[in-house]
Amino acid sequence: MPSPYKLAYGYINPYEVVKAYNKLKAEYGVCSLGRLRAYYKQKGILNPVTHQPPTRQALLYALGKTEEGRQLLSLASHARFLKRPETGWPEERYRLDKKRKELKVPEVY
């Protein structure tokens, strides 16, 4: 029998969370994690271990896993909870690498 962690891991698809966030944002103007949690409760999507809707923290982590979700979080009031890595998000690093190649800046090791 799988452990509770394995059961709970991955029951929320980050791309579906972004779609739901955008849907609520279009409907209400401002979307909060609590409102997103209520949406999941209404739809009946529950954590298989606790049989509760996903927590706000779980939704926050799910949004932080995708580039579009991170952009949505940066515009939201709970952006202070988003932990940006010191080296930047992957898409920021790719953009900088592309710009360096265009300018032919030598890499420093």
pLDDT band (50, 70, 90) for residue 2: low
Residue pLDDT, tens place only, 70-105: 888 877 755 555 566 677 767 778 888 888 888 877
39-65: b (≥16 Cβ within 10 Å) or e: bbeeeeeebeeeeebbebebbbbbbbe
- pTM equals 0.66
Residue pLDDT, tens place only, 12-27: 889 999 999 999 888 8
Domain layout of the chain by residue ranges: 4-83
Predicted local confidence at residue 30, as pLDDT: 72
Nearest of 65, 66, 64, 59 to residue 24 by alpha carbon: 59
Residue pLDDT, tens place only, 25-68: 888 877 788 888 889 988 888 888 888 888 888 888 888 889 89
* Residue 11 CB neighbours (<10 A): 13
